[in-house]
Amino acid sequence: MSGDCYESNGRWMIGKDGYRLVHGVTMNQRDGKAMGHCWIEKDDMIYDYSNDKELIISKDIYYKIGQIPFDGHKLYKYNCVNMAKMILKHEHWGPWESSPPR
């Protein structure tokens, strides 16, 4: 099953000041292996609107569950302006600066 995290969370971020779109690698809860993922951060909270869900959870818990940063993979964070520039430059929702394992 492939998800829609990059597009769903990116669309939610349009025009939202104070939030950061994050591209990174997390542990897949189904098989324990690394996977590329995208979510939104503001202060100590995570917002994830992928796959028709609305998850709002503390950053500490989200990072613990996903073992973030998984296996030492770097996190890439974008404000809404930088995100828009990356979308225009690459002509897709992401990831833009990494090649996640899957």
Instruction: Please answer whether residues 49 and 38 qualify as being in contact, where contact means their C-beta atoms are separated by less than 8 angstroms.
Output: no
Q: What is the DSSP letter of 66?
A: H
What does the pLDDT read at residue 71? 87
Q: What sign does the dihedral 62-49-35-75 (CA atoms) show?
A: negative
- Per-residue DSSP letter, 75: P
CA distances from 99 to 9, 23, 51, 64 (A): 18, 10, 21, 22
Mean pLDDT of 74-78: 97
The residue written with tokens 């964070």 in the block is: 77
- Kindly report, residue by residue over 3-57, the tens digit of the pLDDT: 899 999 999 999 999 999 999 999 998 999 999 999 999 999 999 999 999 999 9
* Sheet containing strand 76-78, strands side by side: 55-58, 45-48, 34-42, 20-27, 76-78
Q: Is this structure's pTM higher than 0.85?
A: yes
